[in-house]
Amino acid sequence: MSIGKWLGVGAGWFFGGPIGAIIGYHIGKNFFNGKNDNEKAYEVSLLILASLVIKSDGKVVKSELEYVRAFFQRTFGDQKSKNYFSIFNKINKQDLSSQIRPICLQLTQSVNHASRLQIIHFLFGVASSDSEVHSLEIDLIRKISSYLNINRNDFESIEAMFSNKISDIEKYYKLLEIDKTATNEQVKKAHRKMIMKFHPDRLKGVSDDIVKLANDKFLIVQEAYEKIMLNRK
């Protein structure tokens, strides 16, 4: 490794932890500069973890790469997303599987639970973009979820949003983390709990662009509640 690469890694680690060290190696030491570094580290973590999920089943599918590109373009606009996708292309050529746990540990220390749920939602979006979520992709996302201190119920709730193996009504119950035997009052209570959990205002330590995206999950939770109550009439 050249002196320049070492300087990039060192500076990156200083400002951005293990995520910063990866970026410092690939693009130099100036990406993290003490301004909004937590937000930048969060956004880069999406790229790193997406790359690992995409490659986890042994093949790189174009639709999954396009999902990442479209997600960043929709979230950050043309120029910023172009810069991020350039980083993504460099990251995607590397084996960073040994960095999963350090990256997740950094995230648990820098962003709150709601923001970490957003990561799992994004990764399932990547995995399902080719119309099939491979078991190896699910296993890796489950491992990431565990490292991010996300419990089983929350993981399965998000997984249900992307599942095509269960009926819609089963999916709605899974989303609210209840079963079909729940009373109407229990459904309402679960709905209030999930609304609080997935409300965009709950995200902390991330950019406003990421906060806007959380509205997708919020609307899905609302739809699940409405469909369950309609099904009971």
How far apart, in whole angstroms, are the C-alpha atoms of residue 40 and residue 37?
Answer: 5
Q: Which amino acid is at 204?
A: K
Q: Any residues with CB less than 8 A from the CB of 61 and at least 6 apart, and which?
A: 54, 129, 130
Largest CA distance in the chain: 69
Indicate the length of the chain as a whole number: 233
Q: Any residues with CB less than 8 A from the CB of 54 and at least 6 apart, and which?
A: 60, 61, 64, 65, 68, 92, 126
Domain ranges of the chain: 1-34, 36-231
Inter-residue contact 56 to 137 (CB < 8 Å): yes
Burial class (CB in 10 A: 0-12, 13-18, 19+), 136: middle
Q: Any residues with CB less than 8 A from the CB of 201 and at least 6 apart, and which?
A: 211
Q: Any residues with CB less than 8 A from the CB of 118 and at least 6 apart, and which?
A: 203, 206, 210, 213, 214, 217
pLDDT tens digits along 89-142: 888 888 888 889 999 998 998 888 888 998 999 999 999 998 788 899 999 999
Percent of the chain beyond pLDDT 90? 30
pLDDT tens digits along 146-189: 999 999 999 998 898 888 777 788 888 888 888 889 899 999 99
Q: In terms of pLDDT, which residue wins out, 188 or 23?
A: 188
How far apart, in whole angstroms, are the C-alpha atoms of residue 4 and residue 63?
Answer: 35
For the chain, what is the mean pLDDT? 81
Inter-residue contact 17 to 106 (CB < 8 Å): yes
pLDDT value at 16 more than 60: no
36 pLDDT tier (thresholds 50, 70, 90): low
Percent of the chain beyond pLDDT 70? 85
How far apart, in whole angstroms, are the C-alpha atoms of residue 129 and residue 163?
Answer: 12
pTM as predicted: 0.79
